[in-house]
Amino acid sequence: MAGNRILKTKENIMFDNNRRNKTIEYLKSLKTPQGGYSNFTNGDIEPQPTLSVLMSFGHFGLPPHNPDETLSYIKSYWNKETGGFINPSTGKIEVLSTALGLLLLNAIGAADFFNECLPLALNYMNANAKSQEDHFMFIGAIDECKISFYPENSVKFFRDMEKQDGSFGSSVLLNAIASSALLRLNEKLQNSEAVKNILVSAQQKDGGFAEKGETSSLWVTYCVMRAIDLLNGSFDSMNLQNWILSMQQEQGGFAAPGNKASANETYQCLSILNWISKPVIEAARSGDVCYLKNWLNQGGDPDLINPEGWTPLLAASVRGHSEVVEFLLSNDIPGGKTANLDIKLDAADASAIFFTGQSGDINTAKAILKRSPQQLFDVNKVNGHTLLLQAAFFGSEKHLKMAQWILDDIGEILDIPECETEKIEKARFNLTVMTNVRGYNCLTMAELWGNKNSQELFARYDKSTKADREAYLNKLLAQIAPEKPTDEKEKLKQQLSDDFVKIVADGFEKLRSIAIKESEKMKEAQKDIMNSINTIVSNPDFDINYLGGPLSQTPLIFAITGVDNSDEIAKFRLELASFLLNHSADPDIPEKHPMSIDAVIRAAVLNHFEILKLISEHMPPLAFASAMNEKPAINGQTALQDTVHRALTSSGEHLTRHLEQIKWCVSKGARYDIEDHTGVSPEKLAREALNDSVYKDQAEVVMQALGIQ
């Protein structure tokens, strides 16, 4: 990778969690009743701002909101006869609006309608592209949507602009647009250095880029940065970042100087921030120490944060690149500023040591714990996981080895002398008694997932009792307890939601205590539970989507969270889920704990297959597919990946149900190519399982269920 030229500045402003959340709320506020988004607050719906908002959500790792409504809006502008899309502002079919139509369909995952439109739309754009903007957007749609099509006329249009010296003339903007267009098609430039020199020389003292003179332009900067990203060009990234962040308005949107905040300019600013951080985060993810050394030597900040919230240390930790982690925490960084171990991915309260547990890399764990051994006991405030609980949750061969190392060498990790056996045993007990927010410690979690290898390991070390674990759990839940509302109406809503959770929790506890043969007693208990629930739901102050209980979950999510020990209880859980869905429970609203996920992923994780199918009947198809393909911040694992993960440690009837769920999810639009935070997709997980001592027994049948060879 080529190194960026970094100029040191007095201050490096960060795009922190507060800024990020304000921007997300601003973008959501631009939603219109028709299904798209407006460019300005309280404005009219338009295709370009709609795309800008959806692409901005992508920078934050967020799925599209209400995609089925957006699809209806897009469909209304397609002209089947020509294959083109109508520009609603002119009423005419245009190349630009057609490219936008395809880009929008791709952004919301509307594969069926996209494929229906594609052949005619390509023919229309290829035949009618005339202007520079037409050709550029045509190419942009091909690149962004990964369409296998070579637009010969558009390539010729930009090739004809190339001068003898390999540049595209003296215009900074033209060099940026023309070079980007060709590079997006993997076309080689005659003289990329000539183009780079023109682009880089246009950067001003404030960090922005200008067409001419010394006044930076956001539009010029956006176009130039796209080209520089494709060319691996150098630029003053700190000044540019500060200049862009200075454009953020109080409400969270971005605007060029003199303008008011808009969707389009917010997207441009977010894209620039992404291009600034992208090579650095990619270097950390790929283990490129040389790039990071060069970048830091030239003044880069080891704690740079991208729009999604990732730092180089977090990115390297979750990918298990111990050499990068070691370097970022070493004294070799110019200026003596090492990476901050306390910075977390805010959306998941996830630190470097937490993500190391997901990667399963022992050397990464050693690099961190060598500098901060007490992080062995660090607790994630979303799911309650420690490094050991992460190893238990993921449970592969490498995670098993990590868990064994932790338990065997805990004295060495914590620098406890070998002779102090009592102190070592106490530390080991303190670690194994720790549970997640649902009350599972390392051993009971291994039992939950049917991971026999992990069960054997943890059974040798876990000396905790049920009372010990419950005492720890009570302390943990007290630490993460939500703030009590002060508004009287909200207090009532909270109380009713909490009451619902208690009724369901106590009800399932009672059902589990009833013997299977006592069918009449079981029916009577179920009837009592439903009567109590009916009383709460019929209360006009009850909000069926209000978060309640110690984990701040919607009533639907709480109702489907649990493992059933009989078919009768499973049927009752399904009945309860159906009741809530029929009373307008929204399965797309996320919980706060334990994973900040919605009901779709929750049902998939716990293999409540019948409930998952029921939920699909209460959601529009694109919204359901989007929910299945959403990457939770806590681990990046989609509903399909969670199902694959659990199938690999299952057996018997449990395995059969997981395999059925995998096939069904794929048929409903679940993708097996979406990578989690470690860079592993469901397909790659299944393939790698062939050589994993823990996972290999089920690897082939899982691959068959996914439909891959």
What is the tens place of the pLDDT at every residue in 574-588?
Answer: 999 999 999 999 999
Whether the CB-CB separation of 501 and 555 falls below 8 Å is answered with yes
Q: pLDDT digits over 431-449, tens only?
A: 999 999 999 999 999 999 9
Q: Quick one: 348 exposed, middle or buried, by C-beta within 10 A (0-12, 13-18, 19+)? A: buried
CB of 411 within 8 A of CB of 447? no
- pLDDT, residue 516, reads 81
Query: At 214, is the secondary structure helix, strand, or coil?
Result: coil
pLDDT for 6: 40
pLDDT tens digit string along 189-199? 999 999 999 99
Does CATH number 1.25.40.20 belong to domain 486-706?
A: yes
Kindly report the average pLDDT of the chain as a whole number.
Answer: 94
Q: What percent of the chain clears pLDDT 70, i.e. is strictly above it?
A: 98
Q: Report d(CA 135, CA 323) in Å as an integer.
A: 44
Report the CATH number of the 311-478 domain.
1.25.40.20
pLDDT for 634-671, tens place per residue?
999 999 999 999 999 999 999 999 999 999 999 999 99
End-to-end distance of the chain based on CA atoms, in angstroms? 34
Give φ, ψ of 299 to 5 degrees: 105, 10
Is 1.20.1250.20 the CATH number for 17-286?
Answer: no
- pTM (2 d.p.): 0.93
Q: For the chain, where do the domains classified as CATH 1.25.40.20 start and end? A: 311-478, 486-706
Mean per-residue pLDDT, 17-46: 92
pLDDT tens digits along 494-536: 999 999 999 999 999 999 999 888 999 999 999 999 999 999 9
Tens digits of residue pLDDT in 596-606: 999 999 999 99
Radius of gyration of the chain measured on its C-alpha atoms: 27
Q: How many CB atoms lie within 10 A of CB 449?
A: 20
**Residue 205, class by beta-carbon neighbours within 10 Å (0-12 exposed, 13-18 middle, 19+ buried)?**
exposed
Question: At 4, is the pLDDT very low, low, confident or very high (cuts 50, 70, 90)?
Answer: very low
Distance (Å, whole) CA 414 – CA 150: 60
DSSP line for 481-530: PPPPP-SHHHHHHHHHHHHHHHHHHHHHHHHHHS-TT-HHHHHHHHHHHH
User: What is the per-residue pLDDT across 281-316, written as a single tens digit (0 to 9) for each?
Assistant: 999 999 999 999 988 888 888 999 999 999 999 999
Q: What is the mean pLDDT of residues 86-115?
A: 96
DSSP run (H or E) holding 665: helix 652-667
Residue among 424, 331, 433, 425 nearest 379 (CA): 433
Q: 306 Cβ partners below 8 Å, 6+ apart? A: 15, 273, 274, 277, 278, 281
From-to residues of CATH 1.50.10.20 in the chain: 17-286
Answer whether 562's CB lies under 8 Å from 489's CB: no
Report the pLDDT value the prediction gives residue 267, as an integer from 0 to 100: 98
